[in-house]
């Protein structure tokens, strides 16, 4: 559930930066992989 909350927080941020959704769906999984790697 924490991951879904993090994704919901990232999506609006990406919209604010004006980044295309395509890049957004690439950045989100990449960040999740980093979090899983650290954990």
Q: Distance between CA atoms of 18 and 4, rounded to whole angstroms? A: 21
Three-state DSSP at 18 gives coil
Q: pLDDT digit string (tens) for 1-39?
A: 566 676 666 666 655 556 566 666 777 788 888 888 987
> Between 2-17 and 21-38, two packed helices, what is the crossing angle to 10 degrees?
140
Q: What is the pLDDT of residue 37?
A: 92
> Which residues, including other chains, have CB under 8 Å from residue 7's CB and lie 6 or more apart?
28, 32
Q: What is the pLDDT of residue 19?
A: 58
Q: What is the pLDDT of residue 2?
A: 67
Q: What is the pLDDT of residue 31?
A: 84
Q: What is the pLDDT of residue 5?
A: 72
């Amino acid at each position: 559930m924490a991951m879904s909350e993090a994704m919901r927080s990232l999506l609006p941020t990406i919209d604010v930066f004006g980044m295309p959704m395509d890049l957004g769906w690439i950045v989100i999984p990449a960040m999740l992989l980093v979090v899983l790697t650290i954990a």
